Amino acid sequence: MVYFCKQKAGGIDVRLFVAVDLSGEVKAALEDIQGQLKGSGVHGRYTARENLHITLAFIGEYGDAQAVLDALEGVRFEPFGLGLDGMGSFGGLWWAGIRAGGGLKGLAAQVRRQLAMANIPFDRKKFSPHITLIRDPDKQVIPQVKIPDVKMTVEGFSLMLSERGKRGMIYTELGTVSAGKEEETI
Ligand code: ATP
Ligand code: MG
């Protein structure tokens, strides 16, 4: 585990989630899709490039980020590939789908198992991998878009702090766990 922001790791409740960050190429592809939606006249709250991610587990308000970091350190996984796969929606939230074989599901399951073992609360809804592209679109139906054929290798995941900024959410990485390593040294 590499700690990025130790001073935020203890004390008062903070909003936390565990996520896979995306490569520059995948983020560029997602921005391309957002551009196509904008080109089709869809207005709404588009996810900013730096906020594009895949949530593995949503913890919510919790006071001991250090305990979460410690629990996540127990996750062991090998790098795996992922790509993009169409679009879908949960009500007023449109997302890009993900093609990832079993690697992503396995990682989410392991993250959740470690959290559960450490008695850290998290949303236990079934994992449904997606990348949120826009919230509250002003159209009902997702227009046809061309999904760029991009791939990336997932080499790590992070504990994220979520704060409400003046211009939307600000996510900060508190620590990251890398694939295929016994111990991480700084
Ligand atoms: P806002 O809630 O203001 O629209 P947001 O959803 O980007 O902003 P958070 O609510 O802090 O910010 O969520 C962080 C991440 O966790 C997002 O990917 C979000 O979809 C996911 N998430 C939030 N709540 C839940 C939940 N109850 N179950 C599963 N995932 C969640
Ligand atoms: Mg939310």
Ligand 1 atom with least separation from CA of 168 = 3
pLDDT at 95: 98
CA distance 75 to 159: 12
CA distance 68 to 175: 10
Q: Which ligand is nearest to the CA of 92?
A: 1
pLDDT at 186: 56
All residue ranges of the chain with pLDDT < 50 are none
Predicted TM-score of the model (pTM)? 0.92
pLDDT at 144: 96
Interval between CA 58 and ligand 2 midpoint (Å): 9
Domains, the chain, in order of start with CATH, read 14-178 (3.90.1140.10)
CA distance 5 to 25: 26
Pocket around ligand 1 at a 6 A CB cut-off: 15, 17, 55, 58, 123, 125, 132, 135, 162, 169
Ligand 1 atom with least separation from CA of 123 = 28
Interstrand relation of 93-99 and 45-46 (parallel, antiparallel or unpaired): unpaired
Interval between CA 97 and ligand 1 midpoint (Å): 17
- Given a contact cutoff of 8 angstroms between Cβ atoms, the answer to whether 86 and 144 are in contact is no
pLDDT at 55: 98
Ligand 1 atom with least separation from CA of 45 = 4
pLDDT at 184: 55
pLDDT at 8: 56
